[in-house]
């Protein structure tokens, strides 16, 4: 029976400042590295496949978790937040109050200025998942980003994007799936390390 683990990266410099990161590429902090060490025992020792976003907060996390080579795929990058990248939520709201209010409704069609909608993220996720399922893998791990992983959870469970909020990954959060034929079943969800290790999920 094939199994898949989804892992959110550890804290990065941008996460510490609670900014919209998106395609920005800061490294892990010391805390982020500790978060990865704290979850290692919850993951398979020698997975058959390891996939990661090319952004270094994800690729560094994968390297800390596993000795094997990880396959990078740009389709696993975080949502592009466009003009809001590097800003806090408060700064983005001050800059574009009406646009921010529209984004905050969670409408998957809406994209931040010069950014990417959740529907666009979903299209990337579906493309990657189709390729992954063609190959098959008894044990596979994806190390990526909070928003991307929430979208992937919705796709695996065939739920609409509006239902993504039960699957909020703190830094170091893990979702565990098994496949029954083509159908995925979530068999475990670990939001993340203890609160003193993992800060809020404001930024991606």
Active-site annotation, residues: 9, 78
Residue in this structure with the two tokens 């609409």, named with its chain if needed = 160
Q: Which two tokens stand for residue 31?
A: 């805390």
What is the C-alpha to C-alpha distance for residues 204 and 191, in angstroms, rounded to an integer?
A: 14
Angle at which helix 146-157 crosses helix 118-135, to 10 degrees, equals: 60
DSSP class of residue 40 equals G
**Distances 93 to 20, 24, 109, 155, 171 between C-alpha atoms, Å:** 12, 19, 19, 29, 24
3-state secondary structure 124-162: HHHHHHHHHHHHCCCEEEEEECHHHHHHHHHHHHCCCHH
Strand segments, DSSP code E, in the chain are 3-8, 49-52, 71-72, 139-144, 174-180, 183-190
Nearest CA to 65 out of 97, 42, 95, 81 is that of: 42
């Amino acid at each position: 029976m094939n199994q898949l683990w989804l892992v959110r990266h550890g804290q990065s410099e941008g996460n510490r400042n609670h900014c919209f990161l998106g395609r920005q590429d800061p490294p892990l902090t010391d805390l982020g590295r500790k978060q990865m060490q704290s979850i290692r025992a919850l993951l398979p020792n020698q997975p058959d496949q390891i996939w990661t976003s090319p952004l270094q907060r994800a690729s560094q996390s994968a390297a800390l978790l596993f000795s094997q080579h990880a396959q990078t795929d740009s389709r696993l990058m975080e949502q592009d937040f466009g003009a809001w990248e590097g800003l806090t939520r408060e700064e983005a709201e001050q800059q574009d109050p009406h646009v921010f209010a529209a984004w905050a409704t969670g409408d998957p069609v809406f994209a931040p200025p010069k950014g990417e909608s959740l529907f666009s993220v979903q299209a990337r996720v579906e493309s990657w998942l189709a390729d992954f399922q063609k190959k098959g893998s008894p044990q596979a791990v994806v190390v990526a980003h909070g928003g991307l992983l929430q979208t992937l959870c919705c796709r695996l469970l065939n739920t609409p994007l509006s239902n993504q909020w039960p699957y909020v990954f703190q830094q170091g959060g893990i979702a565990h799936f098994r496949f029954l034929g083509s159908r995925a079943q979530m068999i475990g969800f670990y939001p993340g390390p203890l609160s003193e290790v993992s800060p809020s999920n404001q930024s991606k």
